[in-house]
Amino acid sequence: MASTLTDFLEEARLSARALLDYGEHFFNPTVRLGVTGLSRAGKTVFITALVHGLTRGGRFPVFEPLATGRIARAHLAPQPDDAVPRFDYENHVRTLIEERRWPNSTVDISELRLVIDYQRPNGADRTLTLDIIDYPGEWLLDLPLLNKSYEQWSRESLALSRETPRVHLAAEWHAHLESLNAQAREDEQATLTAARLFTNYLRACRDERFAMSLLPPGRFLMPGNLAGSPALTFAPLDVPIDGTAPEGSLWAMMVRRYEAYKDVVVRPFFRDHFARLDRQIVLIDALGAFNSGPEALHDLQAALAGILDCFRIGRGTILSSLFRPRIDRILFAATKADHLHHVSHDRLEAVLRRAVSGAVAKAEQTGAEIDVVALSAVRATREAVVARGRDKLPSILGMPAPGETANGETFDGNTEAATFPGDLPADPEELFNGTSFRGLSSTAAADSDFRFLRFRPPLLEHDGAGEPALPHIRLDRALQFLIGDRLQ
Ligand SMILES: Nc1nc2c(ncn2[C@@H]2O[C@H](COP(=O)(O)OP(=O)(O)OP(=O)(O)O)[C@@H](O)[C@H]2O)c(=O)[nH]1
Ligand SMILES: [Mg+2]
């Protein structure tokens, strides 16, 4: 019963919020664009490049309203949500362009408002407000918890942790789990240890070598100001999926805290942020998964399916049926395509299309239009052909970041180097069937099939006419899909 009341209150809050937004958007057309992706996927760089391109008139031939000169001006304006940190655009631009460093990692949600003055094709002047919301993909992957009991979540988490390569990383936590009796009296110390070992296991899975994607609950790895709170101090137990926890037991304590996590973390995120989005781009570091190996690619696929499920949850609320369809376009974007030669860009898109295909087949239920693109928000490389013996290898030329190593050489950050990152297969199936390629999870860097160096952001040549545009790959195509129709 309690959960029904909670659900009812939640719906009421959602409806009130939606009414407020509706009234505002009626007088002032607004698109709320969610930008998400797992940690290090490229969110901050994407938003910075997008805003830079729109406000400074970037080279966006495929973004029709800009290419045809219908956008008169785009400028930043104060954001509407007082409790959300502002996206630190100016600082990120400075870091990228002047220092030629990538911006620092960001762990919280942030927001930026862009106002676009444009002319409709019939000549009328209009304004579109674009609110860009940057939030961690880990938070998104928490949404399915809303529909899961503690026992269900425990069962799924345990099953996943028994697959390779996770099972090796979970050894210490599994050993501790064996020593626990779920029916015994609640025990704070045992719970603390379980939560710590479970978190260590999640952290090990996320490591570059394994690059696993599916790691809920998201806040365990990015606790912020909730670090150490009971809502973040629980772990799965080996309990029957339809069982009931005895009062005062360890199990009951875990259930209480799991529910607290949903109340304190997941529901507010859903209500205040997710349910209010109109459009969504999901950034994916597919190259990171290639680097790691086939297991990481499968894990990524599962995470993408989970993400699409979230959009279905989003549609099922009273909000979507009463007011207006919310998220009606979703773009999955493989980032950092500049690490590959252009012949592989279409192949990268094909891999991504294959990875989301199962989920997209069910997409009718989301009611949203879905597309995929391989892009690079900031292009850090050029292409070159390097002769090796009689072979001519299509290579990538860039300035590796200080400390990167290849073939025994460590780069100082001031030297250009040509690398051959590896070719993606013409048929994406080859990457998905089992163990067809080797990555860092099973072999040393020198023997893996794909190896991507981190390059420094590009050097921009000033021609005296203001700040030069940042080079990119297909960023304009992403923009056309995400907001092109709203500028008609
Ligand atoms: N070459 C290249 N590297 C990129 C590009 N976008 C992102 N990167 C790399 O990916 C890293 C992560 O990018 P961010 O934009 O900070 O990713 P994020 O998703 O905001 O990461 P968190 O804030 O840690 O969640 C950067 O430090 C760069 O090394 C790109 O377009 N090209
Ligand atoms: Mg970031």
Q: Is the CB of 100 under 6 A from ligand 1?
A: no
161 within 8 A of 228, measured Cβ to Cβ: no
Closest CA to 203 of 220, 227, 224: 220
CA distance 121 to 266: 42
For ligand 1, pick from 88, 102, 382 the residue to mutate: most ligand atoms within 8 Å of CB. 102
User: Closest ligand to 404 CA?
Assistant: 1
**For position 322, what pLDDT does the model report?**
44
**Token pair belonging to 329:** 């376009």
Q: Is the CB of 106 under 6 A from ligand 1?
A: yes
**For position 125, what pLDDT does the model report?**
94
Query: What is the full DSSP assignment across 237-275?
Result: ----TT--PPTTBHHHHHHHHHHHHIIIIIHHHHHHTGG
32 within 8 A of 279, measured Cβ to Cβ: yes
- The CA 112 to ligand 2 mean position distance, Å, reads 13
**For position 100, what pLDDT does the model report?**
94
Region of residue 68 (left: phi > 0; alpha: psi -120 to 50; beta: else): alpha
Closest CA to 217 of 133, 156, 172: 156
> Alpha carbon 461 to chain centroid distance?
31
H/E segment holding residue 134: strand 125-136
Atom of ligand 1 nearest to the CA of 472: 31
> Alpha carbon 212 to chain centroid distance?
13
- The CA 338 to ligand 2 mean position distance, Å, reads 19
Q: Whose CA is nearest to atom 21 of ligand 1?
A: 40
H/E segment holding residue 359: helix 345-361
**For position 320, what pLDDT does the model report?**
46
**For position 321, what pLDDT does the model report?**
46
Q: Which residues pair with 135 in a beta bridge?
A: 36
- The CA 377 to ligand 1 mean position distance, Å, reads 9
Under DSSP, the state recorded for 380 is -
- The CA 276 to ligand 1 mean position distance, Å, reads 26
458 within 8 A of 379, measured Cβ to Cβ: yes
State which residues have CB under 5 angstroms from ligand 2, the bound ion. 43-44, 106
User: Closest ligand to 378 CA?
Assistant: 1
With vertex at residue 442, the alpha carbon angle to CA 437 and CA 445, rounded to the nearest 5 degrees, is 80
Atom of ligand 1 nearest to the CA of 339: 1
Region of residue 211 (left: phi > 0; alpha: psi -120 to 50; beta: else): left
CA distance 270 to 280: 14
* Count of other CB atoms within 10 angstroms of residue 148: 15
With vertex at residue 14, the alpha carbon angle to CA 12 and CA 17, rounded to the nearest 5 degrees, is 110
For ligand 1, pick from 45, 222, 338 the residue to mutate: most ligand atoms within 8 Å of CB. 45
Q: Is the CB of 376 under 6 A from ligand 1?
A: yes
110 within 8 A of 79, measured Cβ to Cβ: no
Instruction: Specify the amino acid at residue 269.
Output: F
Reduced to 3 states, what is the DSSP secondary structure of residue 97? helix
The low-confidence residues of the chain, meaning pLDDT below 70, are 1-11, 14-15, 17-19, 22-27, 312-325, 359, 361-366, 434-436, 441, 446, 463-465
Q: At what angle do helices 250-261 and 188-206 cross, to 10 degrees?
A: 50
Q: Which residues pair with 228 in a beta bridge?
A: none
Atom of ligand 1 nearest to the CA of 376: 31
**For position 292, what pLDDT does the model report?**
80
Reduced to 3 states, what is the DSSP secondary structure of residue 122? coil
Atom of ligand 1 nearest to the CA of 455: 1
**For position 463, what pLDDT does the model report?**
66
- Checking DSSP bridges between strand 405-406 and strand 391-398, what pairing results, if any? unpaired
With vertex at residue 7, the alpha carbon angle to CA 277 and CA 328, rounded to the nearest 5 degrees, is 20
CA distance 190 to 257: 14
Q: At what angle do helices 345-361 and 294-315 cross, to 10 degrees?
A: 50
Q: Whose CA is nearest to atom 10 of ligand 1?
A: 42
